Amino acid sequence: MFCIKPHFAARPLLSFTGFALVLLASACSSPDSNGRATTGVSADSTATATPQAPANSPLQVVAAFREPQIVGVAVLPDGRVFGDFPRWDNNPVNPVAEIGTDGSVKPYPDANWCIWNETVRNEPQKHWICPQSVYADKAGMLWVLDPASPGLKGTVPGGPKLVKIDPATNKAVQTISFPESVAARKSYLNDVRIDTQNNFAYITESGIGALVVVDLKSGKARKVLEKHPSMLADTTLNIKADGQLLRDPMGKQAAFNADGIALSQDLQYLYWKPLTSYKLYRIKTEALRNAALTDAQLGQQIEDLGKVPACDGMEIDAANNLYMTTFEDHSIKRRTPDGKIEMVVQDPRLEWPDTFAFGPGAMLYVTNSAIHKTPTWNKGVGKQDQPYHIFKMKLAQ
């Protein structure tokens, strides 16, 4: 089967020469899959050529982790940085952590939340089971989305949840549990955006393919647009990373449904796309908040915004530029309001760039999760040849 790729009128965003490249890799530490702290970032035995930073790369290393795999990042207005390390191929000691300025990892909000074993099976709402997303809202609150599906093998009963944490006290102040009608056993709650003006949360569900709309005042959640075409992977495509198809240990090709999500700065539009797809969609948030609308009525309000690169994470700036972690060519691109695709940065260290976060000082943070080199999506063989990172870069004003 041919690999179908769209052609984009990509043009450089700006010259980044002069930005400092800060390498903190030697100072980082992280728990390994057995709970030990690992320091340094020496290459593993499968490495052949560890990706090197281009001379003019704007990406600064905030932290680097040999293991476990990092996926999400969130940055508070005061600059505090948080990461999440899902229980996929690893069993991280700190699945949600605050990342210190020296790259250190501190369990968050405390060590008890980070425990998940037989001793706490009866309280799945009080522990991180397989956290997928951390997100800082406009009010400075931190949210953690836990699909509770360790190893991507199905949800733990009573485990799927959205938790609000007050960073001033480092305490959970709200926990919204999702019933099986919203988060089915084969579901995977993927990413979240918070509407602080209307007190709603919007979540992509990539296991079956849907959106979840949460009324944060009542704590009630609705699953909408389940298996709508805009939610589903395009199985006719051969989307690749490092030129290779993603295949599980049984050789099955990956097909990821609704994944990337972004909320416009004016809170009027929600954007999303299936990961294995070249299509971008949006809908007015007003429609999503209207519980009286049927899926058919919602479907009529979805806007097909045309072709964009395959990407994992998305975020929107104040000028309505949509940033995308475009993993097929180790890059970050953005879609301008008039639909043009622009290259922001291309760097071989962006091995599967994953999740964005905006930070103070017009900084854009991004993780690289190297999903395509993990055993789950590399035919059962781990071939990670560089650390997982949190990067940051200055955006043009």
Q: Which of 355, 322, 354 is nearest to 336 (CA)?
A: 322
284 phi/psi in degrees, rounded to 5: -70, 135
Half-sphere exposure of 150 (CA within 13 A, CB side): 14
H helix intervals, the chain: 285-289, 295-300
50 — pLDDT class (breaks 50, 70, 90)? confident
Residue 42 located in a structural domain: no
99 φ, ψ to 5°?
A: -95, 120
Length of the chain: 397
Quick check: 64 and 39 in contact, CB under 8 A? no
User: Is 177 part of any domain?
Assistant: yes
Cβ-count burial 125-147 (b if 16+ within 10 Å, e if not): bebbbbbbbbbbbeeebbbbbbb
Mean pLDDT of the 62-80 span: 95
Q: List the one residue out of 139, 223, 138 whose CA is nearest residue 189.
A: 223
Can you give the pLDDT at residue 42? Answer: 33
Q: What is the pLDDT of residue 397?
A: 59
CATH of the domain at 188: 2.120.10.30
Nearest to 128 by CA among 136, 142, 260: 142
Query: Residue range 113-120: average pLDDT?
Result: 97
pTM metric for this prediction: 0.88
- Which residue has 């932290």 as its token pair? 63
Q: What's the pLDDT at 46?
A: 39
Residue 20: inside a domain, yes or no? no
Least confident span in 6-10, 81-85, 345-349:
6-10
pLDDT tens-place string over residues 14-25: 333 333 333 333
* Average pLDDT, integer, range 194-206: 98
Q: Does 51 score more than 80 pLDDT?
A: yes
The pLDDT of residue 231 is above 80: yes
Closest CA to 363 of 330, 396, 316: 396
Identify whether 15 is part of a domain. Answer: no
Cα–Cα distances in angstroms (integers) from residue 296 to residues 24, 152, 232, 292, in the given order: 51, 30, 16, 11
Average pLDDT, the chain: 88
**pLDDT at 78 exceeding the cut of 60:** yes
Query: Positive or negative, the Cα torsion across 178, 181, 186, 190?
Result: negative
Total domain count for the chain? Answer: 1
Q: Is residue 306 part of a domain?
A: yes
Provide the pLDDT for residue 102.
92
Rounded to whole angstroms, the Cα distance separating 63 from 15 reads 24
As a 3-state breakdown, the chain gives helix, strand, coil percent values, each rounded to 5, of 10, 35, 55
Look at residue 376 in the predicted model and tell me its pLDDT. 86
26 lies in some domain: no
CA 372 to chain centre: 15
What amino acid is encoded at 224 in this protein? V
- Dihedral sign for Cα 120, 122, 126, 127, please: positive
Domain that holds residue 73: 56-361+374-394
Judge whether 49 lies within some domain.
Answer: no
Closest CA to 228 of 290, 281, 292: 281
35: in domain: no
